[in-house]
Structure 1
Amino acid sequence: MCPDIQCPDIQIRPAMPADSSAVTQLLRKSYPQLLPEDYAPTTLRAVLPHITTAQPALLSCGTYYLAQNDQGTVVGAGGWTDISPARGVGRDGEGHIRHVATHPGFLRRGIARALISQSLDAARAFGLVRMHCMSTLTARPFYQEMGFAPVAEIELTLAPGVHFPAVQMLCDI
């Protein structure tokens, strides 16, 4: 069950490779609707093809989770890894929040909060003491509410010539 009282009909479970289509559908509904307030249309046209497809490595890592409603629809996704999404290496005791999204029709129900809580609890149990996050500009206030502090504004290179403004954030867990 979702630990937040606002979403008692939501189940959280580890993602699997077979969830690729459902996660891609979620990402393609979420990001195009939630990001336009903080990003220029030209930026979104360039970056959306790179961020709206499920990542096979995340779906099989065991620490990427899905939130499903009582009809089995994926309404949220997110998790963590102990390797960096940018360079594929990790530091002892540190992890990275990865590819979090909530379906626009299910916002403000505690789904993302439950996914982050699940991730932080699992990361602590794994022995991690610090969590990094490369947040969208849109999600920065959410992550701050979850205890993450902004470290720097950054620009992610998603492909040659495709740059995505983001915020590097950090949380001691």
Structure 2
Amino acid sequence: MPYLKRYTIRHATWADIPALHVMQIYSLLVLGGDFYSPEEIAGYLSEIGTMDEAVFLERHYYVAVNQRGAILGSGGWSQFIPDNGAGPGEDLKGGVATIGSVFVGPAVARRGIASAIMAVAEEDAAEHGIRRLEAAATLSSVPLFERLGYTAIRSGDIVLSGGARFRCMEMAKALPSRHGRSDCVSFPPHLAAPEKFPSLTS
């Protein structure tokens, strides 16, 4: 597709949120359809959603946009584990962060956009003193993470109401050392509570 020859990766803004949600939901429905039932996807979208807007506070979340400004993909890293439907999250410490909400529009899937976003996010994370990135990858995104050097730790389930389960794979990658900034956001204590899974990736 000619319009894919030029696209820009930039920080996501609050104004991007409505378009992000549309792209992410459509991505999970289409690209996740070979791995999850419609009921599993609907349950996840209803109870958890594709993105915790708290990550916008840290400014480490990115979008790829074409020349017309349409959002083609998204993804980023955070030291804040979102609630995933189980209450407030927690602030990670010790050079560990999650990478998540990695989505790409189905029409432009498998064209390098997700990999490009991940490269930007990983470089930014390393410059901020992050040494290890962790993810709870959807089954449809596991091949992407494996190509980018992430190792599968264990399979896991996000438990939904009524006992339904949304399958994912916990993955991790060590980042090279950088001598950059170390100004990650620390969230106030009232936001802190344990939660197992980081942001979902698709």
What TM-score do the two structures reach when normalised by structure 2? 0.76
State the Cα RMSD in Å: 2.0
In 1, the alpha carbon distance for the partners of 2:63 and 2:120 equals 11
- Structure label with greater radius of gyration: 2
CA contact (8 A) 2:155 2:170 kept: yes
In 2, the alpha carbon distance for the partners of 1:98 and 1:160 equals 26
CA contact (8 A) 2:12 2:62 kept: yes
**What's the counterpart of residue 72 of structure 1?**
69
Larger RCO: 1 or 2 (CA < 8 Å, sep 6+) = 2
**What's the counterpart of residue 91 of structure 2?**
89
In 2, the alpha carbon distance for the partners of 1:161 and 1:52 equals 17
- Structure 2 residues without counterparts, runs of 5 or longer: 84-88, 176-202
CA contact (8 A) 1:80 1:98 kept: yes
CA contact (8 A) 1:113 1:146 kept: yes
**What's the counterpart of residue 154 of structure 2?**
152
CA contact (8 A) 2:52 2:82 kept: no
Alpha-carbon offset, residue 28 of structure 1: 2.0
Alpha-carbon offset, residue 85 of structure 1: 3.2
Alpha-carbon offset, residue 166 of structure 1: 0.5
Identical-pair percentage: 27
1:20 aligned residue (17, 21, 27): 17
CA contact (8 A) 1:85 1:96 kept: no
Aligned-partner residue type, residue 21 of structure 1: P
**What's the counterpart of residue 191 of structure 2?**
none
Alpha-carbon offset, residue 148 of structure 1: 0.3
- Structure 1 residues without counterparts, runs of 5 or longer: 1-5
**What's the counterpart of residue 115 of structure 1?**
117
Alpha-carbon offset, residue 91 of structure 1: 2.7
In 1, the alpha carbon distance for the partners of 2:115 and 2:50 equals 22
Aligned-partner residue type, residue 146 of structure 1: L
CA contact (8 A) 1:47 1:162 kept: no
Q: How many correspondences in the alignment?
A: 168
2:53 aligned residue (53, 56, 65): 56
